[in-house]
Amino acid sequence: MRRLVPFVFGMLFLAGCATQQDLNAVKWEVDALKTRVAKAEDRLKEKERLTEQGLGNQAQLLAQYHELKEQVASLQGGMEETKASTKGTVKEDRLAALEREVMDLKALVETQKEPPKSLYETGLEKYRAGRYAEAMADLKSYLDAGPDPALADDAQFWIGESLYSMEKYEDALLQYDMVVKRYSKGDKVPDALLKEGMAFHKTGDSQTGNLVLQRLIQGYPATEAAAKAKKIVKDGLPRE
């Protein structure tokens, strides 16, 4: 739709005045956008309900929200251009009415709230900020609330990473092992095996650590994690 709106208004500008067919096209854009706003509002309400349960795709909804705002801004800009190209014609009253509709639509979009962040997102942000205990609390709450299946293994892994960063290596081992066993088909397994092996090294059990790393190398040879595992098996843990 974003490509269609500038095209419609560009044609109106080149023509020098708006025909009834042109105005109908603008009206159609407004009506279509109103429908999208209504649907977005419904999605936002549903999102607020799902957020309480730790469910839903936050990134997708946020992208839709910003896309809708961009479309309203584009439509408003095109309306100003059309208005300027039709001065002194009998179409001015109709354009003024359409302009009011666009302004009302813009006001409606501005009142919509951006979707709140999930506990997974806040947990990851806290981890990156070095607030490991808080990150772990958010991630555990996320898992307890019934997570998005696509993010469950990630949440479990970052709990392990939080414990590892706090130098609680034995506790971290358990979390990495959960990733491997509970989410064996997930994409976090190679990283979990790598960090599990490293955690064993940290506890002083390099023999078990290397066995875990060899499992990673054999099972996931083409991964970056496997490449790192080979270096650790050969040279030991890198100095931090």
List pLDDT tens digits, range 58-78: 556 566 666 666 666 666 666
Task: Calculate mean pLDDT across residues 40-52.
Answer: 57
Residue 82 pLDDT:
59
Confidence of residue 239 (pLDDT cuts 50, 70, 90): confident
Q: Is the separation of the CB atoms in 192 and 170 below 8 Å?
A: no
Digit-coded pLDDT (tens) for 178-218: 999 999 999 999 999 999 999 999 999 999 999 999 999 99
CA distances from 194 to 83, 102, 210, 223 (A): 63, 55, 10, 11
Question: pLDDT tens, 109-131?
Answer: 566 656 688 999 999 999 999 99
At the fourth CATH level, the homologous superfamily of domain 131-235 is: Tetratricopeptide repeat domain (1.25.40.10)
pLDDT over 70, % of the chain: 52
Q: What is the mean pLDDT of the chain?
A: 77
Reply yes or no on whether the pLDDT at 9 is more than 60. Answer: no
Contacts for 148 with CB less than 8 Å, ≥ 6 apart: 54, 55, 56, 57, 120
pLDDT at 2: 44
User: Two tokens at 233?
Assistant: 């098996």
How many Å apart are CA 218 and CA 229, to the nearest integer?
Answer: 11
Choose between 6 and 164: higher pLDDT.
164
Q: DSSP string spanning the chain?
A: -TTHHHHHHHHHHHHSS--HHHHHHHHHHHHHHHHHHHHHHHHHHHHHHHHTTT-S-HHHHHHHHHHHHHHHHHHHHHHHHHHHHTTTSTTHHHHHHHHHHHHHHHHHHHHSPPPPPPHHHHHHHHHHTT-HHHHHHHHHHHHHT---HHHHHHHHHHHHHHHHHTT-HHHHHHHHHHHHHHTTTSTTHHHHHHHHHHHHHHTT-HHHHHHHHHHHHHHSTTSHHHHHHHHHHHH-SPP-
